[in-house]
A and B are shown apart, each in its own frame.
Chain A
Amino acid sequence: MELQKFTYDNKLSNLFLWATVIWGVVGMLVGLIAALELIFPQMSGNLPWLVYSRIRPLHTNAVIFAFVGNGIFTAVYYSMPRLLKTPMYSKLLGGIHFWGWQLIIVLAALTLPFGFTQSKEYAELIWPIDVLVVLIWVVFGLNMIMSLVKRRVKHIYVSIWFYLATWVTIAVLYITNNLVIPTSFTHSYPIYAGIQDALVQWWYGHNAVAFFLTTPILGMMYYFIPKAANRPIYSYKLSIIHFWALIFLYIWAGPHHLLYSALPDWAQALGVVFSVMLIAPSWGGMINGLLTLRGAWDKVREDPVLKMFVVAVTAYGMATFEGPMLSLKTVNAMSHFTDWTIAHVHIGTLGWNSMMNFGMIYWLVPRLFNTKLWSTKLANVHFWIATLGMLFFSIPLYFAGFTQALMWKQFTAEGFLAYPNFLETVTQILPMYYLRAFGGSLYIIGALMFVYNVVKTAQAGSFVRFEHASAPAKELPKAKEGFHRRLEGRPLQFTLAALLVILIGGLLEIVPMYLVKENVPTISAVKPYTPLELEGRDIYIREGCYLCHSQMIRPFRSETERYGEYTKAGETVYDHPFLFGSKRTGPDLSREGEKTLPNYKPNSWHFNHMQNPQKVSPGSIMPAYPWLIENEIDLSHTVAKINAMIKLGVPYGDGYADQAVADLNAQAEQIAVDLQANGIQVDKNKEIIALIAYLQRLGTDVYKNK
């Protein structure tokens, strides 16, 4: 057989590698800032772009899409050519992919802290950036597909199965969840509303975890663990079974983010059972990773790369067991909205994602620079400090989660809430927030050691841009092959099969939510927001209030006692986007405006509270939002916003946009007059007025006829 000569170009994997290193540190530091802001709420001062609620999305986006994302691309651009025995198809497409992705990250950093956000978690980026994301994703896909066409090996390896499933699923999820009607170049409303929007968002959000933080990392694992350990994969059979089971089951599990919400019981049940069924397929990946190390355990003791991988895969196993447990309704009743969730995701991100990235880069840098790792000892220290940091991060948050959940649910013997003041349940867990910040700091110190080590390694060697290789041309298909083996020889069909498998779950959940009317029973008292309330709602979104305040009262006595009647699906029909939130760092605001409920506050209270939360609630960890009192409401898009809402089916009536601004001013006047009567002088055109209008409207509609 004649050998064909070709060359691997390491340029792009090297670029992606350094992007991973840089954004990793940046993303973690932003996380630390957010953690510190929860302890020192005055930290952001008068700087809107530094406030916790704008920084937190920057942290999540940075670590997911910049740190893990670039790590994934490093793995793909390094492993794929070698697994396919061909260089990546196009240097140009690769270059566009790399620089385009970095541009997206920079744009995210330039928009999120400045309040440009869609408010859906991990889908916060505004629509023009979304368009760019889709374009770059297509470039990435094209480069992969064309490389597959040019390949010299007949069958595609399991890593590539995972890369392809990742690509096709993320494309479907990202586009579906980001369908919006723009009202300006920086603002839009999603086409979905309320509970339906919530279902689409968490179908996306959950599968961002599945298909961005899991499947591509499994692809990475299947390449780098056997390479680093020099051991064969434990079981090809297991690869097949767990791959297909994982992608088929994962897509259904989204509704477990909405347990005990206004989502219909049938959809919640699907979220529960598919999450439980995911345990074995997830553990299939863990087993295949760990058992591949059979015969190499003596090396694990010495080699920081393998140590990182072992902790990563173990953390993956822990997180994928805990996830299904959190999806059981009885557990979720306690864990949801608390720091338990934060602890859970950080086992996944600090344990699984970051450790895989660290291990891969420790293995890769010496190879890309033709040298040895500068200091194995320092890498070992990094390993220990990172593991400790992860524990110091998570354990206090688990404790905080249990504590707060128990306090929220505690009743006195007389039948009253034991802690009617939400703030008490916050100050109780503050020591845990200190410990979390300490754990995070340890983790970052480890990451800095990592940076130093890989920079030193790169300096000690010289970059090997080209590696020459040779392989025979692709063989012709053999007559006798099993079904799956045949599929492995046909990447396009393989990708289509993966697409089909992931579409089943998505379609069967989302379509009935739209077509079957009983899923969202109408409530006639529920009316659209007034223009002022709508502007206030957009300010609520801009400031990221939903990151700490939920708007979803669950049907528990402890919640209806505290917050009022539980939230109904029909109450959310004009909410583009939904604002249920996923964390209660502060109290739920679903019925904040309802005067007959314990949480009601007068306009003047809200004014004073936004200006200086600690003045009205000593010990509160809410940051101040003084700029709301200075900024004027932006009326330049009010008409466009109302028109967009009408287009989305919100019944304002034809031509209402013409009178929207006049109505807005009249309502603002009333609030300004009321504030004045309580000794507060403020112009009616300030943002605080719109925000107060929105807060005072929240949850009141269904109480009107009582």
Chain B
Amino acid sequence: MATNHIKNDHNEDYEIDTMTNQRLIKDHEYDGIRELDNDLPPWWKWLFYICIAFAIVYLIRLWVFHSDDLIQNREYEFAMASAKDALPMKNSATFEIKILNDPASLASGKETWTKICSVCHLLDGGGLVGPNMTDNYWIHGNTVEKLYQVVADGVIEKGMIPYKTQLSERARLEVISYILVDLQGTTPAIPKEPQGTAY
């Protein structure tokens, strides 16, 4: 590191870093490392001030004004309340429980089956933890109404959870239709033994 010695008006000796022409701090030398004493960059100081101001405002908003958006229980309640208003479709009054035979509904039912039901009933319906859905044995009845009830409310003691919070009424019907129209009568790779009564 190149340095120059200069003297000021009072005849004091200064050492200058020749590359930047800045004064090195006297006596600051550690294993050859020298130090300059540049002022803190103004933008850096402002960044610091702004962050401190943010902190103060934030804490005042929470501790003095109890702002809703900083209290997470209230934030949650608000989000839930506004979600309720936005959901007219969740429980429609006019709804008929019946098999949907059109290809679009069956395709959509298959999608739901693949995403959700296959976890317990296997993709081909052969059954795993849940019963085989391809044979003509049923534990809770084989009508669309009975199946609808099982899908909506579940059979908790057996591990079938209610799907009314996950599947719309239409989606429930579509997947039931898929079971009754497409899955019934097929031959799965490893069919589970029959459960319930034959219909």
Contact flags (1/0) for B107-136 with A, using CB distance below 8 Å? 000000001101110010000110000000
A237 touches which one: B17, B34, B37, B71 (CB < 8 A)? B37
Q: Which of B153-190 contact A (CB under 8 A)?
A: 156-159, 161-163, 165-168, 170-171
- Given A269-B70, A557-B83, A235-B37 contact (CB < 8 Å): yes
A605 touches which one: B34, B71, B159, B167 (CB < 8 A)? B159
Question: By the criterion CB–CB under 8 Å, are B87 and A415 in contact?
Answer: yes
A678 vs B25: C-alpha distance when bound (angstroms):
81
User: Which residues does chain A contribute within 8 Å of B128, judged by CB atoms?
Assistant: 608, 615-616
14 A-B pairs with CB atoms under 8 Å apart are A85-B31, A227-B33, A230-B1, A235-B38, A265-B70, A274-B55, A280-B45, A287-B41, A287-B44, A415-B89, A416-B168, A557-B79, A560-B80, A596-B162
Question: By the criterion CB–CB under 8 Å, are A83 and B90 in contact?
Answer: no
Q: Which residue of A has the minimal Cβ distance to B157?
A: A595
Please tell me if B40 contacts chain A, counting CB pairs below 8 Å.
yes
In angstroms, how far is the closest chain A Cβ from the Cβ of B108?
12
Which residues of B are in contact with A by a Cβ distance under 8 Å?
1, 17, 19-20, 24-25, 27-28, 30-41, 44-45, 47-48, 51-52, 54-55, 58-59, 62-63, 70-73, 75-76, 79-80, 83, 86-87, 89-90, 115-116, 118-120, 123, 128-129, 156-159, 161-163, 165-168, 170-171
In angstroms, how far is the closest chain B Cβ from the Cβ of A234?
6
A269 touches which one: B31, B36, B44, B58 (CB < 8 A)? B58
Question: By the criterion CB–CB under 8 Å, are B87 and A414 in contact?
Answer: yes
Q: Which residue of A has the minimal Cβ distance to B76?
A: A555
Contact flags (1/0) for A189-210 with B, using CB distance below 8 Å? 0000000000000000000000
Please tell me if A272 contacts chain B, counting CB pairs below 8 Å.
yes
Question: By the criterion CB–CB under 8 Å, are B79 and A233 in contact?
Answer: no
Question: By the criterion CB–CB under 8 Å, are B79 and A237 in contact?
Answer: no
Q: Which of A586-630 contact B (CB under 8 A)?
A: 595-602, 604-605, 608, 615-618
Please tell me if A276 contacts chain B, counting CB pairs below 8 Å.
yes
Q: Which residue of B has the minimal Cβ distance to A324?
A: B51
Give the contact stretch, choosing among A55-63, A417-425, A428-436: A417-425
Question: By the criterion CB–CB under 8 Å, are A237 and B38 in contact?
Answer: yes
Question: By the criterion CB–CB under 8 Å, are A561 and B30 in contact?
Answer: no
Question: By the criterion CB–CB under 8 Å, are A604 and B159 in contact?
Answer: yes
Q: Which residue of A has the minimal Cβ distance to B18?
A: A295
- Given A223-B33, A601-B159, A556-B76 contact (CB < 8 Å): yes
Question: By the criterion CB–CB under 8 Å, are B44 and A283 in contact?
Answer: yes
A219 vs B70: C-alpha distance when bound (angstroms):
37
User: Which residues does chain B contribute within 8 Å of A617, judged by CB atoms?
Assistant: 119
Please tell me if A651 contacts chain B, counting CB pairs below 8 Å.
no
Question: By the criterion CB–CB under 8 Å, are A79 and B38 in contact?
Answer: no
User: Which residues does chain A contribute within 8 Å of B90, judged by CB atoms?
Assistant: 414-415
In angstroms, how far is the closest chain B Cβ from the Cβ of A384?
28
Please tell me if A661 contacts chain B, counting CB pairs below 8 Å.
no
Please tell me if A157 contacts chain B, counting CB pairs below 8 Å.
yes
Please tell me if A40 contacts chain B, counting CB pairs below 8 Å.
no
- Given A280-B48, A280-B51, A153-B30 contact (CB < 8 Å): yes
A431 vs B28: C-alpha distance when bound (angstroms):
54
Number of residues from A at the complex interface, CB < 8 A: 73
Which residues of A are in contact with B by a Cβ distance under 8 Å?
79, 82-83, 85, 153, 155, 157, 223, 226-227, 230-239, 241, 245, 260, 265-266, 268-269, 272-274, 276-277, 279-281, 283-284, 287, 291, 294-295, 411-417, 420-421, 424, 555-557, 560-561, 566, 595-602, 604-605, 608, 615-618, 678
- Given A414-B89, A598-B165, A600-B159, A556-B79 contact (CB < 8 Å): yes
Question: By the criterion CB–CB under 8 Å, are B129 and A605 in contact?
Answer: yes
Question: By the criterion CB–CB under 8 Å, are A157 and B55 in contact?
Answer: no
A266 vs B71: C-alpha distance when bound (angstroms):
9
A227 vs B129: C-alpha distance when bound (angstroms):
67
Question: By the criterion CB–CB under 8 Å, are B34 and A235 in contact?
Answer: no
Given contacts A279-B48, A294-B19, A556-B76, 19 further A-B contacts (CB under 8 A): A85-B31, A233-B36, A235-B39, A237-B38, A245-B48, A265-B70, A265-B71, A265-B72, A266-B63, A273-B55, A277-B55, A280-B48, A414-B168, A555-B73, A560-B80, A595-B157, A598-B161, A601-B159, A616-B129
A415 vs B84: C-alpha distance when bound (angstroms):
9
User: Which residues does chain A contribute within 8 Å of B168, judged by CB atoms?
Assistant: 412, 414, 416
Question: By the criterion CB–CB under 8 Å, are B159 and A602 in contact?
Answer: yes
In angstroms, how far is the closest chain A Cβ from the Cβ of B128?
6
